[in-house]
Every structure is written in C-alpha cells, then in structure tokens.
Structure 1
Amino acid sequence: MHLATIGVALGLALASGQARAIDDAQLRDLVNRRLAGDRTGACMAVAVIERDRVARTIACADPADAARVDAKTAFEIGSVSKTMTAALLADLIAQGKAALDDPLADYLPKGTPLPVFEGQPIRLRHVVTHTSGLPALPSRMSTATQADPYAKLTERDLLDSLGDVKLTAAPGTQFEYSNFASMVLSLAVARRAGKDYETLLAERLLRPLGMDGAYVARRPGGIRAAIGHTPNGRATPAWTFPVDFAGVGGVRVTLEDMVRYVRGQLGHGDAPIVAVLEATQQPLSQHPPMGMNWMLMPVGERRVLVHEGGTGGFSSFVAVDRARQRGVVILADTAWTSIGSLGSLGLHLVDASFPLGAPRKAAAPDRALLDGLAGRYRIGDGLTMQLTQRDGALVIEPEGQGAHAMGYDDAGDFYPLDFDAVLRPQRTPGGYTFTWMQLGAELPAVRLDPPVAKAAVTLTPEALRDYVGEYPLVPAFSLTVSAKAGTLYVQGSGQQPIEVKAVEKDVFVAEAVAAEIRFERDDAGVVRALTLLQGGQQLRGERR
C-alpha cells in the first residue's frame, strides 16, 4: 500500500461507512462491477465472512473462462503466508519455546553471520514488523530464474547473505518490507520446532482450523492447483519455494480454507490456535502500525488487519475487522501487483466508504501523449529504451531486445502485449516521463534526448482563482484547492498543501507526488469538477 501520495491512501484510512450484510448475489454483483471485462482476464474466488454468515462468489473477467476456478482450486497466496508464519511463531511463544525479544541469531545454526548495529541485535519482533534492517531480498539469490525466483535458493545462500548486510540504523527504528527477513524467520521457526515448515504448518494451524485443502508442496487429494497468469493474460508457472522458506509466500489454499482461516482470526472456534491468532494481531510498532506480520489499518475508530500477497501469476487479499466481525478474502489467478493489487475491491468489501474501482478496459491513447513520450530513455542503472509512435500505438525498443507493441488501458497505463510489465506515464512541467514496473521493481525513466519544447503556461492570479474550492473525492477525503502569490496549491484532507503547476489549460501537475489534476468547466466556463490521476488510479470530485 503506497502512502506517499497526494493523500488518497491516507485519506481512505480515515473513512468509515456503515457495514452491510451481503449475500452471494450481492457479492457477485460487486465483484463483477470491478472485474467484468478487465483487460487482465483474471478469475477470482471471493468471500465475505460476517459472524455466522459467509457470502461467496467465483467470477472471471471473461465468463468464457469460468472453468478455470472452482471450490476445489488452490491458489498461491504469496505474502499472506507471512501471517501464518506469525501464527506459528506466536504458537511457539505460547508454548514457552520463544519470545519476541529473543535475538534472531538464537534460532539459526551456530556461526551464522548476523549483522548488528552498535551492539544491538536483530530480534524476532523486528522481523515480524519489518524493522530488522535486512534488505528486500538476499544478496546471493540468483536472478537467472525470474519466472521462478526462489526455486534455486539454498539454505547456505540464505544464511551467507546475512553476512553481506551492513545495518545503517538500529533494528526496530526503520520500516523496510523484507522478504529476506521473512525467509529467515520461516527457517528459524521450523528449526526451533524441530520439523519442516509444511509439517509444522499442517499440525499446528491447518488441521486445527479445518483447512484441509491448504498445502505447500504436498497437494491433498481432490484439490487442483490453479494456473497463474500475468496481467496481460498469459499463463505463467507457479513459484517453487524450498519448504523451510515457504513461510515467506509459498502456501496454497482454496477459498474455503481461507474462510476457515479468517473465522479463526475473528475469534471463532475453540481450537487452541484461535487464541494464538489473536496474539498476532496486537500492535507492536507504529510507523506504520503493525502486529505480527499484519498491517493494522485505521478505518474510522476501528483497526482492521490487512495483508496482500502477490507472486508471478497470483494475487491475494485478506482483511480482518474484529470490531465488526467481518472478514474479506480475495484469491486471484492473475498477478495484479503492477496495477495496484486487489486493494480497491478488498477495502470496499471491508467498508463501503472505500471506492470500489472499475475494470481496466483497453483504450486508445491520445496522440499528444504518444508524441510527448516519444524519445530515448535510461531505465534504472543502465538499460536504454527507445519509445516511438506507430499507427496510433506506443512501441518500445529496449536496447538489444527488439521492438514490442504496447497496449493502453483507460486507467492511463501502457502494457506490453507479449510479457508482463507496466509503463506508467508521468506528466511534468517539462514534458512527459514514465515509471517502468516489472518483477516488483519500480524504475523511474530518465530522458536522454530533449523533449519537444512547449511554451510555458502562465496564469494570472485572477485565472487561478477559477479553480479555488473543495472537491470531495471519496467519503471523508477531499482535495482543497487554494491560490497564493500567483501559485496554485492542492491539499488532501489532513495533509500539507502541495504546489501544482499548469501544463496546459485546466491541467496541472504535482511533480513531487507524480500526480496530474484535470479541471472541468461547464457550458458557462465555470470550473465544476476535477479528476486526480495518480498511480494508475483516477478519482473525480465535483466542486462544493
């Protein structure tokens, strides 16, 4: 979840609408409003758990694909697996075999080179709150198998990578989401329990909760593994995790398994593991608020547990609202990480005040956008890429890799037709640039040739006053537009004002947060609404 925006994400966290009971038909309607016709072609299994009631639906962007998913289909859940690893750690703590303040080193083979900062070790509480200081991935992880990135990682590679880390701050002081740390924790929990991770998971969590279709590598009879897909609709192999690292993202589940898991998280049932699950939900850190591998999202006066997951071909979303006794599960056979994940649908099912979002439909890009993007760029550390316009479409040509035609969707993103990535345009006062998103990385592009020169747009103080006003975008979140000393500012609810600059009539950019704002006028020329374009999302608000 990206919080460094104009404020929509933070603003939404303050929203709160009335909970509503929901049945299967209503749930299917909501899912279809977000999914039907989506250019990714995803299929989803979705459930909303409300006390003793469960609404379920299975839906596909294209109804012709309905056979891809059913009640016996198991999905990769990616990082949602981390919440299960937290449960196994909490179970060890309940047995008196572990403590959150134990040094991580105590759980690893003797002699493992663990970094410290000025004598301060990494403790278990730092790992489950992503404040260990360990980087996102181990240094000795092979990058040659991106279609299955964890398959060749050995225990020796993982542990030796710890010796390559130099901590720059004390553990517990800085948040950095780390799959590396979570793999180490998965291994550490299995070692302390004296069993491989899959056996431990089955004995202590899956069987007590009745999650009979869930597994890591040993698929139960009668369960079929879903085939994953990239966001351009292509089938892609499942990921393979060494069994003791699987707590980072290697668990596979059916929809019914996750219904049972969320029921346990809501406190339902008398299995001993239910009390253990509650222990994982307690706040441990505040920036951002986290329990044990759970994000703690404020929604009105409530605290909702949220976690998303994504692999090369799957996405997942789980939320637990104990105050309202409501849980949400979404399992998708398509990776949505690069297009914002499942958050809009998932959060709307948590609380109706969150915007539902809409399907991403294929669209025709504006000619001015294509002309503005045309040029030569450097991506990341050195890859160069040429962008050209051909027959009304964008074509990219990474150096030495041939030309690739790009599709375009109505959310404003370009995407390759033959592999998985996203090119997200960004408008600046000096012209267009973009961010390249692939394999979980977001790489800003640097233009190597000068853009086509355009005359600067200068507006008088009187003209700027046309835009001043408040524009509600969603419940409890508005953009307030003000003008001062010849400069226009926008301010999200509860946030600081941000300067915006005109790039053409009624179009402004906030370069610092990669956002574009388009104002609308009525037939009399009066500004009546604006649309915020940011991070692949578009939110419209009418002026008060």
Structure 2
Amino acid sequence: MNNRPAALAAALAAAIAVPGLAHAMTDAALADVVRQRLQGDRTGACMAVAVVEQDRVARTFQCADDADAKRIGADSAFEIGSVSKTMTAALLARLIEQGQGSLDDTLASWLPAGTQVPDWQGQPILLRHVVNHTSGLPALPSRLGATSMDDPYANLDEAALLASLGDARLAAAPGTEFVYSNFASMLLSYAVARRAGTDFESLARRELFAPLGMAHAYVNDPPADVRVAVGHTPNARPASPWHFATNLAGTGGVRATLDDMVRYMQGGLGRIDAPIRTALEATHAPVSEQPPMGMNWKRVPVKDRTVLMHEGGTGGFSAFASLDPQRQRGVVVLSDTAWHSIGSLGSLGLHLVDASFPLGKPRREIAADPALLEALAGEYKLQGAMKMTLRARDGRLYVQADGQDEFAMGHDDAGDFFPREVDALLSPQRRADGSYDFTWTQMGGVIPAVRIDRTAAAAPALSPADLAAYAGDYPLMPSFSLNVREQNGVLHAQATGQGAFPLEANAADTFEAPAYGIEIRFLRDAGGQVESLELHQAGQVLRGKRRH
C-alpha cells in the first residue's frame, strides 16, 4: 500500500497550465494522453485507464513497450492497494446507515470485549479518527510477523493484529495529527466485518461488488473468468503478489479489473441505482477540515471545487482513483508496476482530473553528468539508519551500504538514480552552497541522507522572533498555497491539503526539508522585509508572494 502522504512534487507540476479537455473524452483521445506519459518509460509499466464522464466512459490499455501489449487486458485483475480503504469506508457507512453504529463510536466498542486499545490521557480512538488517519496509532502493527517485505502482510492474522494494540502507544491525542496508519485501517476492516456478522470478502461482495456490477472484484476468492495480473517493480522485474487475511484486506487487499473500477466510479457519482448509493455518497462528506478528509477519501481543492482522491500501491502495483462530483467525472488508473518510489501515478491521474495539471513525460534512462557523479561521491549517513558510500567509476554511480555488496545505479532524465536489483530511488539534492546530499526512497519511505565526509557549515542561529518574520501564507498557484509558521522555535511549512513539516535553516533566508527534497528561499524587499519565497523541488520552482 502507498503509505506516503501526497507529495509536493505533484502540486509543483501543476504550476504550468495546459489546454483543458473541452469535450467528453474518447477512447482514442485517452489512449493518446496515456501514450504521451508512458511510451518508452524505463519502468516498462502497463496501465489500464478509464475516464468516466456522466454516462460516457473512455478506456485504454497501454504499455511502455508495445511488445508487452498482451500483458494486460479487460479481464485482468489488478491489486488496487489502499484504494481498498475507500470501499471499507463505504461498508462502514452502510452499517451506520442501517443503524448499527456511528462515527462517534469508540474503536474499542467495535472490537471483541477485553481488547486492549490505547488511549491518550483517557481520550479514546473514535471511528472518525480511523477514517481520517488521526487515530494516533503507528503505521504498522508491532506483530506484523513479516519474513519478507516482498509480501509484508502474509503472516499477519486477526489475533496478532489485536495483540499489537496492546503494544501500541498513541503518537498524539486522537483527532489532532494526521498519521497514515495501515494498522488502524486493518482494525477497521476487521471491525466492519465483525459488526456485519460475516467475513470481509462476503460483505464486500454482498453490499458493494454485486449491487454495483463489479463482477470480477475479489479479495482471496477470484472468479473463474478473471486473469490475475502479474505485478512488477519499477525496474521491470516481476514482483510477488501481496496476501492479506480476509478480514484485514479492507486496508489494501482488493483486486479489480478496469471495468470493476469504472462501475465503482459510476456508483460513487450516483449513476447506479443501488442500495449502497447513499452510503457511497456519505463517504464523500467532510469528516475533518484538517486534514481535509472524507471517510478514507482525501478532499483535494482543484480550482473552484473539491475532488475526492486516493492512491494505492503494493509491491508490484499502483492505483489512482478520483471522483469529481461537481463535474460528474471519475478517473481510474491501474498499473501492473509499482511507481511509489517515482511519485506514484499522480502526474497522469491529476492531469486526467483536471488538465491544468501537466501530464509529465516518460522517464528514460540516460547517462549522468560526470560532474554530478564526482560531486555525489562520498560518505553519507541515512537518517536513523546505516552509512552509505557513493562512488563514481566508469561513468556510473555505485552505491554500497554498510555490510552489503556494492551495486551499480542507473540514471534517468528526471535526474534520479535507481538500482536495478530493488525498488528504490536516489534523488540528488543540491544544497545552497553547491554541494549535494540525497534522499533515498524505498518501501514507501523517504529517508534523507547527509554527507559525513565534509565539514558542515554552521546553520544560522535563529530566535523564535527571527523565524516569525517568515510567517505567512504564500499562494503558489490557484487553490494551492504554502503556510509558514514558527512553532516551538522551529519553522514549519504546510501545503494546502497536506501535513505540516519542519524546515531546517542552512543559509541566510534559506531552509530545507531534506525528507522531501525541498529547499525554500525567502526573498526580501528593499526595506529588508520578507515579501516572497521560492520553493525548489525536483528541479522545479514555484514562487509565491507573502500574504499576512
């Protein structure tokens, strides 16, 4: 599943306006858009894509290499990862509609009597905290029991899930901080099935799949006429399928064909008259304003409206789903390749949501600049992890982690390096002084790496009053701004619809967020007052004038 919050890079890409889609999209037009984004991409991915516009549907099946065209088709079932959470939310909403509970019920009341559920100084976790990821529970259960991250949830059963609650301590008071938690979502999946008095797959089939005509959607019991798609890493290597205990699968274990997801989008837009219709609609309503969430749907401002979105991913698949109720438009992108390390499917998905988001382009492997290779060579420390050595040799970058073998990295025209053996990404980050650090992305985590074989310049010493001078809102584009504020002696930034993150001073009027590859440069007017900022990320720059 894709655990990362929405990356700022997707929003950065939206700075460049492109022509809108004036008419309902045809199959041919959609195929052309997807081909522009995918053809020749180094990942070798194949995608099934649909755009639902009222009663019309455009579909296409595309591969980075035309020779792989038979790899997927209309009968192919994809792992949809965390998009499954929106379906669990619909099942919860259906139970609530039937008078079997409320979002203000405690999580504990939906679990077996005697289950130890942590609280925060007497404040319990409510179901509403689970569906907007503010439960305070950690991302994963302590008793995951994974023997390989190729299939991380395969050994987790209901008993171990519930026992993990006894080990857990909340990171914050429920309802106060957004922390994406697959642990909490698995508990919800289990609780919903338990309250319904059946298993999760039977419940989903009875209440959601069958009423909407999602004839090939399943969890662990595939229909006879479905073709199970094979997943891949972004290095074009086959990936292991992910397995979930049936009652925990509502967090990321649903498989579906493109047409199944089209029917799901049509249901969410109210185009299918089925008993689940009002429950689907209920999941769209705001559960919280900060973060802006419905029931497991992210509520994303796009121009003058709110669009519901969710991305998903497993070890070999990526998925994107969005609903635009105001425009009666739905978008589905299913990929048989995991794109988490390279920004997921946001570029293509967002462009199909609204053409003001640029499409992006295929990543193609190219030789790295020798000067960059030499600048990167050195000793680094991954935050909270191991030491890593980078070497430049024969026009290639080589990486060696402590106690591991050295391996060569490829390089693409997006400026990233990638290993061929595992799903990971090394993204160079140029500092204000011209030197480099990097971020290492793997298994949904982004880990900053700091160079340790150089004498670091002392960071500017700034008082809370100094930091407060940068505070304000900085609109970067329509419906997207960066709020900057001082908190407990640290400068924080928060983009529209996303969580806050700390900034580290590294030069005069220059701050970094290494985990996100972000550098922010504040600009002053003739009187010395901060008047604007530049946000640098992934080779792109957004500028915004300060608004107090």
Common fold, TM-score beyond 0.5? yes
Q: Partner residue of 1:287? A: 290
Q: Partner residue of 1:36? A: 39
Q: Partner residue of 2:181? A: 178
The counterpart of 1:148, out of the listed 144, 148, 151, is: 151
Q: Partner residue of 2:256? A: 253
Matches within 5 A, 1:98-247: 98-247=101-250
Task: Give the distance between the partners of 1:231 and 1:162, measured in 2 at CA.
Answer: 34
2:18·2:358 contact (CA, 8 Å) conserved in 1?
Answer: no
Q: Partner residue of 2:466? A: none
SS at match of 2:387: strand
1:411·1:538 contact (CA, 8 Å) conserved in 2?
Answer: no
Q: Partner residue of 1:311? A: 314
SS at match of 1:377: strand
The counterpart of 1:338, out of the listed 337, 341, 349, is: 341
How far is 1:167 from its partner? 2.2
2:5·2:180 contact (CA, 8 Å) conserved in 1?
Answer: no
Q: Partner residue of 2:428? A: 425
**What letter is aligned with 1:449?**
D
**What letter is aligned with 2:438?**
F
Q: Partner residue of 1:468? A: none
CA 1:317–1:326 in structure 2 vs 1: closer, same or farther (change >3 Å)? same
1:363·1:409 contact (CA, 8 Å) conserved in 2?
Answer: yes
How far is 1:383 from its partner? 1.6
Task: Give the distance between the partners of 1:340 and 1:244, measured in 2 at CA.
Answer: 30
SS at match of 1:319: strand
CA 1:162–1:73 in structure 2 vs 1: closer, same or farther (change >3 Å)? same
Q: Which runs of 5+ in 2 are unaligned?
A: 458-474, 483-494, 522-533, 544-548
1:46·1:58 contact (CA, 8 Å) conserved in 2?
Answer: yes
The counterpart of 1:275, out of the listed 273, 278, 281, is: 278
1:13·1:298 contact (CA, 8 Å) conserved in 2?
Answer: no
**What letter is aligned with 1:70?**
G
**What letter is aligned with 1:441?**
G
Task: Give the distance between the partners of 1:75 and 1:347, measured in 2 at CA.
Answer: 20
The counterpart of 1:73, out of the listed 73, 76, 84, is: 76
Q: Partner residue of 1:64? A: 67
Q: Partner residue of 1:357? A: 360
Task: Give the distance between the partners of 1:13 and 1:193, measured in 2 at CA.
Answer: 48
CA 1:115–1:410 in structure 2 vs 1: closer, same or farther (change >3 Å)? same
How far is 1:16 from its partner? 11
Task: Give the distance between the partners of 1:183 and 1:271, measured in 2 at CA.
Answer: 26
* Cα distance per residue 1:134-154 (max 9 Å; x no partner): 111111212431000000012
SS at match of 2:78: strand
**What letter is aligned with 2:182?**
N
How far is 1:99 from its partner? 0.9
1:285·1:291 contact (CA, 8 Å) conserved in 2?
Answer: yes
Task: Give the distance between the partners of 1:540 and 1:180, measured in 2 at CA.
Answer: 35
SS at match of 1:228: coil
How far is 1:114 from its partner? 0.2
How far is 1:371 from its partner? 1.0
Q: Partner residue of 2:323? A: 320
Higher mean alpha-carbon deviation, 7-16 vs 109-118, is at: 7-16
1:383·1:399 contact (CA, 8 Å) conserved in 2?
Answer: yes
* Cα distance per residue 1:321-341 (max 9 Å; x no partner): 010011000000000011100
SS at match of 1:308: strand
SS at match of 2:112: coil
**What letter is aligned with 2:316?**
G
How far is 1:364 from its partner? 1.4
Task: Give the distance between the partners of 2:370 and 2:15, measured in 1 at CA.
Answer: 34
CA 1:154–1:222 in structure 2 vs 1: closer, same or farther (change >3 Å)? same
**What letter is aligned with 1:95?**
Q
Q: Partner residue of 1:262? A: 265
SS at match of 1:285: coil
1:511 paired to 2:515: no
CA 1:517–1:276 in structure 2 vs 1: closer, same or farther (change >3 Å)? closer
**What letter is aligned with 1:243?**
T
1:393·1:406 contact (CA, 8 Å) conserved in 2?
Answer: yes
CA 1:160–1:16 in structure 2 vs 1: closer, same or farther (change >3 Å)? farther
Task: Give the distance between the partners of 1:13 and 1:212, measured in 2 at CA.
Answer: 40
Task: Give the distance between the partners of 2:141 and 2:406, measured in 1 at CA.
Answer: 33
CA 1:23–1:442 in structure 2 vs 1: closer, same or farther (change >3 Å)? same
The counterpart of 2:440, out of the listed 428, 436, 439, is: 436
Higher mean alpha-carbon deviation, 71-80 vs 273-282, is at: 273-282
SS at match of 2:108: helix
1:371 paired to 2:374: yes
**What letter is aligned with 1:307?**
H
How far is 1:169 from its partner? 2.9
SS at match of 2:422: coil
**What letter is aligned with 1:314?**
F
Q: Partner residue of 2:450? A: 446
Task: Give the distance between the partners of 1:345 and 1:537, measured in 2 at CA.
Answer: 19
How far is 1:356 from its partner? 0.7
SS at match of 2:276: helix
Task: Give the distance between the partners of 1:356 and 1:350, measured in 2 at CA.
Answer: 11
Higher mean alpha-carbon deviation, 426-435 vs 297-306, is at: 426-435
Q: Which runs of 5+ in 1 are unaligned?
A: 455-471, 480-491, 519-530
1:75·1:252 contact (CA, 8 Å) conserved in 2?
Answer: yes
2:111·2:191 contact (CA, 8 Å) conserved in 1?
Answer: yes
2:318·2:338 contact (CA, 8 Å) conserved in 1?
Answer: yes
* Cα distance per residue 1:424-448 (max 9 Å; x no partner): 1111134111111111121111222
**What letter is aligned with 2:328?**
Q
Q: Partner residue of 2:469? A: none
SS at match of 1:195: coil
1:410 paired to 2:401: no
Task: Give the distance between the partners of 1:17 and 1:56, measured in 2 at CA.
Answer: 19
Task: Give the distance between the partners of 2:381 and 2:284, measured in 1 at CA.
Answer: 43
**What letter is aligned with 2:431?**
T
How far is 1:100 from its partner? 0.7
CA 1:114–1:55 in structure 2 vs 1: closer, same or farther (change >3 Å)? same
2:318·2:339 contact (CA, 8 Å) conserved in 1?
Answer: yes
**What letter is aligned with 2:339?**
W
* Cα distance per residue 1:223-243 (max 9 Å; x no partner): 011000001110011100011
**What letter is aligned with 1:448?**
I
**What letter is aligned with 2:306?**
R
Task: Give the distance between the partners of 2:513 and 2:183, measured in 1 at CA.
Answer: 30
2:55·2:271 contact (CA, 8 Å) conserved in 1?
Answer: no
SS at match of 2:388: strand
Alignment: residue pair count: 495
CA 1:477–1:390 in structure 2 vs 1: closer, same or farther (change >3 Å)? same
